[in-house]
Structure 1
Amino acid sequence: MTQPPGFFLTFFPRRPLDIGARKFFASLRVMPRNMIQGGGGILRYLRRGGALIRPTRVAIANGLVRRICLSTNHHLVNATAKTIRPSVILSRPLINSFATTSTPDEETETTKSKGSKTGKKKTTKKRSSTAKAKDKPKPRKRLTEKQKEAKKAEKTKELVKQLKKTALEPPKKLIENPWNLAIATVAKEIQARGVKGPDFVAQCSQLAQSISAEERERIATEAEANKAANAAAYDAWIKEHTPLQIREANAARRRLNKIKDTSLRLLRDDRQVKRPRTAYLLYMLDRTGEGDFKYMKAKDIALRVTEEWKGLTSTEKEKYLRQAEQDRERYRQEYREVYGEEPSTSRSTSPSPSTEQDFDTDDTHSVHSSLSHGASTLFSHDDRSSVSSGPVSVQAVTGVPDRAARLRFRAENIYPDHFTLADIEVPRGPWVYLACPGSRRKCPHCKVHVSHNDYVVVAVDGACSNNGKDAARSSYGVFWGHNNVLNTAVPVEGERHHTNQVAELRACMRALLDVVHVKSLFEDQGGALNAVVIKSDSEYLVRGVTDWLPKWKRNGWKNCRGLDVVNWEHFKAIERLIEGLEEQKILVKFWHVPRKNNRDADAMAKAVLRGGWNRGLGLLPPL
């Protein structure tokens, strides 16, 4: 028989027990079971093989309690012995402070029991969590610069496709210019000969000049008939569309001109509603129409009118404010009647000129002044090719009799400080246009400012080798734009003396002669040509035409020394050409620039002397 533990032998020697002792030990044996059954909370669910003392806060070895209980039994200990895994039972406060939920699949970690008197035993405790960790979002893939450019180009391509669909396509025109019609008539004959390239244009020009008088009369009659037919076809095509469709088409054309290197003309439609005018604009029109500022510069006029407007009392401004409100009401009413919808909400306008804006961003530039020749307006309200949203500066002097002020183009008096000389010219396609002074920044796509597509810049320059000597040779170049058929670079012929000054004058004459053809080209495309700026790096040409010519005429073409003016025939021819263009409502301006800003025409003229360029591509007869 298994012997009881040593400490029991010490307190309870081996001798027969009386009845009282037996009852005492019997009560000890059932005490743990009673405590478990009568205990509260978690004790009810413990295995009855274990025992604990209710108020304890430390771990108790079940084996010790079991040995105490079995020591009172007279039967063999091994008869009831059972392998029992030791467990740790904690009191309620400890259970509440450490209890967490767990899942069966979670990992377990080994911990050490604290406060054990017999030794430290390792137990396991499940690690629990309240929620599964959320999946981290995958990092967004970064595009390379090349991929960004490709994506941007794809969006632009789709936008251009939609805009072209909205912009509409007017019917093609028949040839209206008699000279162009004559060229087209003889072109088939020249083409049948197999002639191509620059020689093709030259031979067409020569053959067109040699046609008979009867043929010229027939061509002129046909050109007039074509002009009438084009007008009728265009009007019929316009009426096939609603005014709202034409308005949206013009908006799409403006957008295309900004994002692409194009020069689409806006559609002409008399049904379109005219934009309202602001109170400040009405006041400026009144003041400039009175003629008080005819001897002042454009910049000074704007400053003077602005100061006067700020100095007006509320009563004095009431007249113009009332007129502006009436004009806005007229615009809203006509807008609803013509377009069938409510007009977009306009920006609030303040009487102060510093905040004067157009009625909306689709509007074009305001009328700030008239051209010096009075019939047209420079950067006028009808210039639908421009889309600047801000107020523009006064661009010309009204009614200035001084020839120099009328013909001289002074960019420093027109454009703000953020414009460079290169920014003033806006190349678009085969032409070079004038930038709008109201443009505050360049287009992010085109890298240029907004332009006025009815104001063209043409560069002229002359070159001479052995200047002033008997063996001198001279040439000139006229540059309208890249890949323009009117670009001309030819040697100077028919002159007794070849000088650089003569070459400059001949280049100017060539450009002025071609302006007539440029005007017809613009009109054939549905546009208009209102002004031409002759750009030259020759002070002799610019000052001779603008400053010295009137004095020479008064002196009978004599200079201050009483001698004949050199090259007076050329200056007189230039004056006649300018007068003829002004009769056709085309303003001519002369712009003096540094040589580095006139490289295109200069390179063309010098290339002729080197034998690298000898082409006269102008479609008009040579000088």
Structure 2
Amino acid sequence: MYPIPNRRSPCSIVNRHYQPCYEVAARYPGPQFYTCSYCGRFLTRTYISESGAIHCRTHVVFTDGACLNNGQANPSAGWGIATGASTSQCYVSPFDCSFGQRTNQRAELTGAYEGMIRGLRDMKKSCPHYEQLHTDNGDRMELLLVTDSEYVTKAMTEWLPKWKANDMKTSSGQTPANLDIISHFDDRVEFLKKQDVHVGFMHVLRHRNELADKLAKRAAEVDRKLMHGVSRDNAFDKVIASSPDLAVSDFTSTFERLPNSR
């Protein structure tokens, strides 16, 4: 089984950014994603214990949003997320009108927010690996949201602190776009931080986020059909994700898989 650390482990998420410990970065440059052998959830290297064992405690969720006809007449949008290596850990949804105007940025923000919610739910599911690494009640939980949207990562990590210091205005004195979603997102992240659950953001190139990208595009296509009066029966979560052309296995084939024991 995985050795339990005898002291508080280093943090991977600092100020909402992913920062692996120096030992991990030296041995394995760049972000390294894993799938858990027990539950299939996505993880990333967190730290190396005194015994030399690599611990993968930070949970990872891939997120994306898409908008067809963005900025044009009759746009349709949706989001897609993946918390693990099976189709049952993929979630999609066409855009809900309660989120306001359909745009690419709002779809990406909504996808990241929903990724946080689903990721938290999956983190709580029973898993021997999870329970082993979280036996120490002093250890905090970490959830990393991975997206190919530079807009989402910068809004939640760089721009928002500046807006707060400027009475929620941009440097030009304007109200930031999509402030309603961003503020709600920020409130939730701060609330979780008080519960010792730290949420971070990572920007990756699109080919590293291929699964969520495909899910989001499929959700946007469903949204377009719904807007034309097609039945919603086939638009529920996981139904779209079960389509074989989404190739979950192809996406995860480049991931390293954690062994069942050390």
TM-score by length of 2: 0.70
Equivalent position of 1:483 in the other structure: 86
Q: What's the offset of the Cα at 1:523? A: 8.1
Equivalent residue letter for 1:510: E
Alignment of 1:54-203 (within 5 A): none
Residue of 7, 11, 24 corresponding to 1:415: 24
Residue of 562, 579, 597 corresponding to 2:173: 562
* Cα deviation code 1:457-486 (max 9, x no counterpart): 001111111111121111111110122645
Residue of 496, 499, 505 corresponding to 2:103: 499
Distance 1:526 1:537 in 2: 27
1:594 aligned onto 2:215: no
Hey, which of these two has a bigger chunk of strand by percent? 2
Distance 1:593 1:366 in 2: 33
Distance 1:470 1:602 in 2: 23
Equivalent position of 1:580 in the other structure: 191
Distance 1:487 1:561 in 2: 40
- The gaps in structure 2 that reach 5 residues or longer are 135-139, 226-233, 239-262
Hey, which of these two has a bigger chunk of helix by percent? 1
Distance 1:577 1:476 in 2: 19
CA gap of 1:456–1:484, structure 2 versus 1, over 3 A, is farther
RMSD (Å) for aligned C-alpha atoms: 3.2
* Cα deviation code 1:276-312 (max 9, x no counterpart): xxxxxxxxxxxxxxxxxxxxxxxxxxxxxxxxxxxxx
**Secondary structure at 1:563 match in 2:** coil
Equivalent position of 1:615 in the other structure: 236
Alignment of 1:276-291 (within 5 A): none
- For these two proteins, the number of residue pairs brought into alignment is 216
TM-score by length of 1: 0.32
**Secondary structure at 1:467 match in 2:** coil
Greater RCO (Cα-Cα under 8 Å, separation 6 or more): 2
Equivalent position of 2:67 in the other structure: 464
Distance 2:12 2:47 in 1: 12
Distance 2:105 2:190 in 1: 22
Distance 1:461 1:616 in 2: 15
Alignment of 1:441-460 (within 5 A): 450-452=54-56, 454-460=57-63
CA gap of 1:450–1:414, structure 2 versus 1, over 3 A, is closer
1:427 aligned onto 2:45: no
**Secondary structure at 2:18 match in 1:** coil
Given that 1:426 and 1:433 are in contact with CA atoms closer than 8 Å, whether structure 2 keeps it comes out as yes
**Secondary structure at 1:415 match in 2:** helix
Given that 2:83 and 2:122 are in contact with CA atoms closer than 8 Å, whether structure 1 keeps it comes out as no
**Secondary structure at 1:521 match in 2:** coil
1:438 aligned onto 2:48: yes
Distance 1:562 1:608 in 2: 36
Distance 2:185 2:237 in 1: 20
Distance 2:21 2:106 in 1: 29
Given that 1:456 and 1:533 are in contact with CA atoms closer than 8 Å, whether structure 2 keeps it comes out as yes
Distance 2:110 2:23 in 1: 29
Q: Percent identity?
A: 22
Given that 2:23 and 2:48 are in contact with CA atoms closer than 8 Å, whether structure 1 keeps it comes out as no
- The gaps in structure 1 that reach 5 residues or longer are 1-252, 255-362, 368-376, 381-393, 398-404, 440-448, 618-623
CA gap of 1:412–1:566, structure 2 versus 1, over 3 A, is farther
The structure whose Rg is larger is: 1
Given that 1:431 and 1:484 are in contact with CA atoms closer than 8 Å, whether structure 2 keeps it comes out as no
Given that 1:489 and 1:615 are in contact with CA atoms closer than 8 Å, whether structure 2 keeps it comes out as yes
Q: What's the offset of the Cα at 1:517? A: 2.2
Given that 1:426 and 1:451 are in contact with CA atoms closer than 8 Å, whether structure 2 keeps it comes out as no
Alignment of 1:286-301 (within 5 A): none
Given that 2:145 and 2:202 are in contact with CA atoms closer than 8 Å, whether structure 1 keeps it comes out as yes
Distance 1:526 1:509 in 2: 23
CA gap of 1:489–1:396, structure 2 versus 1, over 3 A, is closer
